[in-house]
Amino acid sequence: MFNLEIGKYLVKTAREVIEVYLQRGIKKVPERVPTKELLQKRGVFVTLKRSRNNELRGCIGFPLPIYPLIQALTNAAIAAATEDPRFHAVTWKEMKEIIIEVSVLTPPQPIDKKQVFRQIKIGRDGLIIKKGPFSGLLLPQVPVEENWSTKEFLSYTCLKAGLNSEAWLDPETEIYKFQAQIFSETQPGGEVVEKVLGEH
């Protein structure tokens, strides 16, 4: 678990990295970090939302701990702004209207499908669903924001993977859960807070 000061550092670094890249086309990775924990390998996602209506504007990340966190954060931030296939690239002017959210992930854990509803808690867990070459991930905050049931969460994660909504029932489908520590701006470039999701 990171304290709020580190959370602020992560979010502000994500904003700085995006803004430098959009202005100058340079990927600026911080040379020094405030704690060695940021050099440990962690999964991370960067989410961009429009401040006026909370609409998604980009979300890219790394589910698995394969890169040092600060490197993964840098790459995810730039990709969320410029490479999310659902949106055109964010412009420099847009950044003053965009809220940045950083989710630091725990390593995914496989779910026993015989006890799937016992093992998933809305507001605590994110999901990864895999079948063959298909894979989809939804962060823990998504089912809370959308007010989904556990079954709906499973179905929408399947759809995110490009599978049919009931693919989670298939014996060949793998289901994983993970948790996230979420830090977010309250307004574009403003105060950073840790988001606590309501479990249910």
pLDDT in tens, 55-96: 999 999 999 999 999 999 999 999 999 999 999 999 999 999
Domain that holds residue 168: 109-178
User: What's the pLDDT at 90?
Assistant: 97
Which of 31, 87, 22, 40 is closest to 59 using CA atoms?
87
61 shares a domain with 123: no
81 shares a domain with 24: yes
User: What's the pLDDT at 28?
Assistant: 87
52 shares a domain with 120: no
User: What's the pLDDT at 131?
Assistant: 97
150 shares a domain with 91: no
CATH at residue 65: 3.30.700.20
Residue 44 phi, psi dihedral angles, 5° rounding: -155, 145
43 shares a domain with 10: yes
89 shares a domain with 186: yes
Does 82 map to a domain?
Answer: yes
The string of pLDDT tens digits covering residues 116-139 is 999 999 999 999 999 999 999 999
Whole-angstrom distance, CA of residue 170 vs CA of residue 54: 34
187 shares a domain with 168: no
159 shares a domain with 187: no
Does 200 map to a domain?
Answer: no
